[in-house]
Structure 1
Amino acid sequence: MPRPRFEKLPPERRAHILEVAAREFGALGYEGASLNRILEKAELSKGAAYYYFDDKADLFLAVVQHSMEQLMLVAQLRPEELRADTFWDVARATYRRQFLIFRQHPWLMGVARAVWTLPAQLREGGPLAVLFEQGQSVSRAILERGRELGVVRDDVPVELLVEWVGAIDGTGDRWLLANWERLDDEALQRHADLVVDGFRRLLTPAQPGGKS
């Protein structure tokens, strides 16, 4: 993770450095991205870069975290504010906002592509895994709130539900990345609706007679 001194930079300067790096990683992937090119475009000397980051991997981790924070600012769900009658409507609206943010800020989609093309051991272990665990923690809190409200099934361990949701979400993201160039705003919204409908069908408690 960035060294504490990076956080002392003005917010605009921090955001500029990370977004320049995000565009490079997004366009060329982690392996293809050039640290020297990032530093040149960010107007940052190599000495200054190592003052803030340990290496290229550390910078990439900072970019991923920054990207997740930008999405959360716009599309975050606060579990304690969810209600039974609007639970799925709020989930659908949240996913729609996320995908439209990708459209407005293509570098965010590029970072997502760079993450998904990393070798599995880099996504699932080490510092980057911490960010995925944070995402799972948010998912778990939402699912537990859904159980409290009676809109999420309670016949399956919550950790298994988290894995199921992650599988649908990851599959949806990979499809989105593969088809991104040919999707307009309407298609993005339709994809968001399909992903959330998959969650709803999987998670809604069974009704009498076995229907969900």
Structure 2
Amino acid sequence: MPLPRFDRLPDDRRAAILAVARAEFAEHGPEAASYNKIIEGAGISKTAAYHYFDGRNDLLDTVLDDVKARLLSALRVWVGTSTPERFWAELRAGAARLVTHLDEHPDDRALAPAAMDRPDDPAVTKWVSDVVRDGQALGIIRTDLDPALITAATAALLRTLDGWALSGHPVGDAEWSLLAGLWGAR
């Protein structure tokens, strides 16, 4: 979590600092990126950097949280659907938007695996929970299991499919059927 002074910066300044950091972490990897190069590239002093972040790892955490938020934004908030066909169409459309976002933002693509490995984010859990609730209401997703269990299993499978796609494997009908099988979908 960034320090409170970072949150008080104007939105465009925060975004600029995160963009420089995201690019450096994406180019050199989360372990090898230089905190000093990020500070220099962002045009801030080392003193100012330590007023915004507790150090390099704090900045990395902030960048990865931002990447995760950007990915969720590409997915969009799940809005309930009215038919099973619409449900699947919306799920596939969300996946397509995510792929498009990653194609257009290579820094996010490079950091997505590290962002996905972070502890569950309440916003991610809510998105998956909303999908599950909608699917259950439509009779697509089984209701004989505790909602928390089917939500956790769905989130785990989606993370696995995301990692599969990020490693260059296509996600097609077979992979979608894996999700349908988990859900007990017809």
Structure 1 residues 76 and 194, CA gap change in structure 2 (3 angstroms):
farther
Structure 1 residues 110 and 135, CA gap change in structure 2 (3 angstroms):
same
**How many residues were matched structurally?**
185
Residue of structure 1 in register with 2:96 after alignment: 96
Task: Tell me, yes or no, if the aligned pair for 1:35 and 1:56 is still in contact at 8 Å.
Answer: yes
Task: Tell me, yes or no, if the aligned pair for 1:84 and 1:150 is still in contact at 8 Å.
Answer: no
Residue of structure 2 in register with 1:84 after alignment: 83
CA shift, 1:195, in A, is 4.2
Matches within 5 A, 1:171-182: 171-179=160-168
* Matches of 1:18 and 1:66, distance apart in 2: 8
* Matches of 2:167 and 2:53, distance apart in 1: 31
Structure with more contact order per residue of length (Cα contacts < 8 Å, sep ≥ 6): 1
Residue deviations 1:17-54 (CA, integer Å, cap 9, x gap):
11211122222222111111111111121111111111
Residue of structure 2 in register with 1:40 after alignment: 40
Letter in 2 for 1:41: G
Residue deviations 1:119-155 (CA, integer Å, cap 9, x gap):
xxxx5xxxx5253x54223212321222123221112
RMSD across aligned C-alpha pairs, in angstroms?
Answer: 2.3
Residue of structure 2 in register with 1:28 after alignment: 28
* Matches of 1:130 and 1:173, distance apart in 2: 15
Q: TM-score, normalised by structure 2?
A: 0.86
**Large movers: runs of 4+ above 3 Å:** 113-116, 192-197
* Matches of 2:182 and 2:44, distance apart in 1: 48
Matches within 5 A, 1:133-148: 133-148=122-137
Structure 1 residues 192 and 139, CA gap change in structure 2 (3 angstroms):
farther
Q: TM-score, normalised by structure 1?
A: 0.76
* Matches of 2:47 and 2:126, distance apart in 1: 37
- 2:171 match: secondary structure: helix
Percent sequence identity over aligned pairs: 31
Task: Tell me, yes or no, if the aligned pair for 1:22 and 1:63 is still in contact at 8 Å.
Answer: yes
* Matches of 2:175 and 2:96, distance apart in 1: 10
Residue of structure 2 in register with 1:14 after alignment: 14
Structure 1 residues 71 and 115, CA gap change in structure 2 (3 angstroms):
closer
The worse-fitting range, judged by mean Cα deviation, of 165-174 and 82-91 is: 165-174
CA shift, 1:105, in A, is 0.4
Structure 1 unaligned residues grouped into runs of 5+: 117-122, 184-189, 206-211
Q: Is 1:129–2:128 an aligned residue pair? A: no
Letter in 1 for 2:61: L
Letter in 2 for 1:50: Y
* Matches of 1:154 and 1:105, distance apart in 2: 38
| Alignment match of 1:200 (pick from 144, 161, 180) | 180
* Matches of 1:83 and 1:26, distance apart in 2: 40
